[in-house]
Chains A and B, each alone.
Chain A
Amino acid sequence: MTAMSERLLSVQDLHTSFFTDAGEVQAVNGVSFDLDPGEILGIVGESGSGKSVTAYSIMQILADTGRITGGRVLFKGQDLSRWSEKQMLNFRGKSCSIIFQDPMTSLNPVFTIGAQLREAVVLHTERRGREADERVKELLELVGINEPEKRMKQYPFEHSGGMRQRVMIAMALACEPDILIADEPTTALDVTIQAQILELIQSLQKKMGMAVILVTHDLGVIADMCDNIIVMYGGRICERGNAREIFYNPKHEYTKGLLRSIPMVSNMKKKLVPISGTPINMLNLPQGCAFCPRCDAAMKICLTQKPEELVINQDHRAACWMNVKNAYEEATGA
């Protein structure tokens, strides 16, 4: 398929594990997806679903105990997982950047904001000295921080969470990357600031045209922004499709559960329906569908066989036995 080599990013059957004292934690178990230039992809899932680890695997910034144990990550046709550290250094921050969840701890406390931004600029561009400082000022203005000259000389602890996250975004965009990964960018922020940051990311994407992978557990965050959505649970993809399909026509029990548990202002009278049970223990993955123990509609087949990802329609795929059951009943006229 000619489409392959044009894909900006192509993750193919990725497996990532952490080798800890307690055993092997299989955080990502066969994840595949593609990303086009300028596409905004949302990855949704609970803590422990493997969504952040997927992002870290792409950038190869896993902790020491983590390793990609299978699959490939193709960036513009080249397999990242085979690259040397030197090549990766050129990739990180330049072709692909990431902003993290907690802006309070993600910036180095002993360096000024200006110094940290300057480092990003100097690492990957030819600018030095005053040119670099000019660029830093530009970046700060780009993310909506006024009085950039003053801010540059200040330390992270002198700024609020929202401000720090803006600095993080500035740092990530310093070299105009092809891909921006945002790992739970608003989880640690106040609700009002959350909206501001999301708007900022959206407007920057329109302005600069990079692809964005937005990782979050909050469906509300995904709703407005994303072109396509991937739902993950237990290190695997449950369902994927464009935003409309996922929200209005969910075909996986987990997705349906997530949607049911969102408090909706329009439906104040209805009781909140949370998903029962606790998140999965990644040390001991069950034999069948990972979501089975918590699924209200679980069937016998779910206990023992992992569902395959099947096509629902052109923009929608899901891996849930419920869909097979429906097709079966339709076929046998039950």
Chain B
Amino acid sequence: MNLNDIPEKNPLSMQLDLSKFSGEQFSLATEEEKQQQDVMSESTTFFKDGMRKLFKNPLAVMSIILLAVILATIIFAPLVVPYRYEEILSVEGKRDKGAKNLAPFTYSELEQRYIEKGGERFPHIFGTDEQCRDYFIRVVYGTRISLFIGFFASIIVLIIGMLYGSISGYMGGRVDLIMMRIVDIIYSLPDMLMIILLSVVLQEVLQFKSGTLLAKLGTNMVSLFIVFGLLYWVGMARLIRGQILSIKENEYILAARSIGAKPGRIIRKHILPNCLSVIIISTALQIPSAIFTESFLSFVGIGVKAPMPSLGSLANSAREGLQSYPYKLVFPAIVICLIVLSLNLLGDGLRDAFDPKLKR
């Protein structure tokens, strides 16, 4: 690195025209002046940052809107539509046999005559099914049930998985080893087959008090919940345990313990918030899985008990007579797809926004 074109003595005065400067420029700058120069990026909390990222994601926003619309519909529709899901349509007290398999927005002969006479009849937005029931309200109730099943199953998985995973992870050592061995075995059990088995058996064995929600749902759904409670939580347990193990080694836990914080407090204040994002994402993706399981069971014939509709059972019974009445399959199918799609996209969006491990 030779700079041999500049002479040694008094180099700066040769390089610059010092007359261009004034003494004022060389006075000290104040702290405020320096701070103005220093533009640091905004600091935000993890939560705020994540929410901001989430709302920038158009697919995630669309999913949230779509889910909100669906939720609003299923809450308010029964207030607007005068039919009940199990109600066989009747006009002026008489069973309307002609109201079978009506296309959307059409009326049966009896109903038409009634309207001509001056009566009011709420339109059958989705038509009717083979048992002369309004299809729209059945789809709405089916959605309610499917979402309820999905949600409830996820909660079961969440609670059991979290408890098991936290205990296993926090205890460590022998306890952890044994608990994880059990998880390994449960993990290899074929869930679907177990559900089927259990449903077949429970049907004969269980009798619910008629009129209760459980009775209306039927023993098959109970077996679904039981199996979810017995088998599906293992994924969540592993996740939580993994989180706890990695956090346990973390230095700030050591710091907290060294100042005397009790284990319960440590779990609450340090471990849970870190697991939160994992929990939310996992739950969001669990609901579609439950809905699929439920529709599979309906397919095999051990789904929700009639006349209670579920999206899966509606789609399934629509398979007969598909050529003549395609709409009966289309409506529940679209609703299933929309719900599952939005939950999947939302889950993806949440993961992109909140998972700190994701490299950008």
Contacts and interface: CB of A to CB of B under 8 A. Distances in A.
Interface of A: 3, 21, 33-34, 36, 228, 240-242, 277-278, 281, 283-284, 286-288, 292-295, 297-303, 308, 310-315, 317, 321, 323-325, 327-329, 331-332, 334
B41 interface: yes
Interface stretch (B31-39, B291-299, B334-342): B31-39
Contact of B40 (A240, A281, A315, A327): A281
Contact of A314 (B4, B25, B34): B4
A314 B1 CA distance: 9
Interface of B: 1-4, 6, 8, 10-13, 15-16, 18, 21, 23-29, 33-35, 37-41, 360
Ordered nearest first, which 5 A-B pairs have the shortest CB separation?
A293-B38, A301-B25, A327-B12, A286-B37, A325-B26
A167 B326 CA distance: 66
Contacts, number: 100
Given A300-B25, A327-B12, A331-B13, A314 B33 contact: no
Contacts of B15: 310-311
* Among B1, B4, B28: residue with most chain A CB under 10 A: B1
7 contacts: A293-B37, A294-B34, A299-B27, A311-B3, A311-B6, A329-B26, A331-B13
B123 to A, nearest CB: 49
B41 A303 contact: no
Given A298-B34, A328-B18, A313 B8 contact: yes
Given A240-B1, A303-B34, A314 B8 contact: yes
Nearest to A240: B1
Nearest to B33: A303
Contact of A303 (B6, B13, B29, B39): B29
Contact of B26 (A284, A287, A321): A321
Contacts of A242: 1
Contacts of A34: 1
Contacts of B40: 278, 281
B360 to A, nearest CB: 8
A277 B131 CA distance: 76
Contact of A300 (B1, B12, B29): B29
Nearest to A283: B41
Contacts of B6: 311
A212 to B, nearest CB: 15
B110 to A, nearest CB: 62
Contacts of B10: 327
Given A292-B34, A298-B29, A228 B1 contact: yes
A180 to B, nearest CB: 18
Given A286-B38, A313-B8, 16 more contacts: A34-B1, A281-B38, A287-B37, A293-B38, A295-B34, A301-B25, A301-B26, A310-B11, A310-B16, A311-B3, A323-B12, A324-B21, A327-B16, A327-B18, A328-B23, A332-B23
